[in-house]
A and B are shown apart, each in its own frame.
Chain A
């Protein structure tokens, strides 16, 4: 009886792992196949052809899309961390009237469906002359990175000892000095977690990136992959799509695996959407 239990438990573990990993494994497998090999279903690797990778990386626009995505995601992270650190100090440490209302309002923003602001943002982006530039995305992504960054950092700052700050105040430190000199060194773990999650969010975003770009050279990676087309309308370049997918996913998977614990703690503290 016990043996049966153990065997079925491990069978369940195997099923979970296979289901979780197989699609990515299969994408990698396909990305190494070219020509007609791609149209034969293989369960195990049979060919190792870098043709798709060469094709994607030497194409005119895909490398530009990667640079666009790196730039946009990095700027989004810096932008929202800067805004969030100062704000969460005020929210965590200074009692003022309307504080909980403000926190609730920020939470409400994180629940906004993106489509509800799309029309208004579209107008704003056009008005500011940001349409079809990376700044359109950097500005609009704060709508989903800022709320959870503020929440997680506020929670984290509340947990820091009050004595630290009091000692600094007694020494005559201004709030700005307190943030930059006293809190920042302690905040690194929380900054790393929220920064990472904001980066992933900005890297993966699709709706705004699709709507606020108009030319191939301003596309981000998800848009480029979604709109990657072959020589003709009916010929979908699956090999190239899989190679592009693997290229943009591997760094992300590595990041997530390396920072597993941080991400899990960030997710549970902020309950960020996936």
Chain B
């Protein structure tokens, strides 16, 4: 594509200096990267170098470097990078690169963007732009937790599938020393699964405090598994280690000659000591009790209560399609894998697959209710749904949220409730249909497929009933605004 165009807004509380330094740093870094940028300063003199509506419409991406609240409605639908003025002053090049990357992932139609036929590639790019945008707008503890979860997932996927493969030799085959089943179990259960809680805690702490947080976080996480506090204890250890390390870095001021010792010696040592002692003497026992009770309760769930849990998980998975509520349900289910509880994982993955699948089916059974773009998008949504990428539903939901979101919540809730009622267990936390054929990953493939199909059909029927024919619906082109989340 042509030279990228960025727009940026800088703003700080006093509006005397940081606003302008951030603006200058961004302009300079953009010039060095060969990218066109216009930076509006909102300082004590008022807004200067204002971004016009036309410029806002033509921008490929937006940077908001502000320590105050800046109105962003002008940039609806554009990829936005959020940062503080301090970030912009010290790491302007990084922000420019991030914005440029988002811009190239999300080709934005020209101003007034009419109904252009959306190629499938565009649609997929918009999904990934929407995901990136959500990631970059994540804030505070939620961002840190998600950072930990994203580092943890590969361990759970590899471990879960390898354990399942070891069971393919028979459920107790791994107990025979020296067999392949024993080796697979050792890789999956005793290595990958032994690491996943420490990795979760370690990277929560890393996200908060950078490098000095990593070691204490991982150590605290390992202790959590040793004392039986599981992933809940791991999350606590991660936040404790991260905020403590950050506080120490900011509080202890050593003579210059000794400052090099801070990140390698002083902060990790003190933080590990405190976090370790807290985990062992304070947090360990009560969280162990909570984890044990939760595990026992979930394992014993049958009938009505299983269905209720399924309904709740299903509603959460569909509600914001990959947003915080969805991720809360997902993290809950993945964390429980550490305690050998597998039914919520099955329910959550099925419920996450249903929204794109149901909408894809709806475009086929009720073509008059969808515009040409949405019908094209429907073809891609099949693949996204089968791959457990719930975000595939976002463009439909963004165009018509009050009809689409209740429909997908209904379908997902039914699917998850069925999966829970059947007691289906899933050992892999991701991968959609592609992990299902692996032996022992799933306990009951036919009933699982049935649950997904029922939810998909319900979603399609409900959304087709609620939606109005396309002629009286909103004009085409709304799809061009991804994730109005």
A and B from one complex: no
Binding site for B on A (CB under 8 A): none
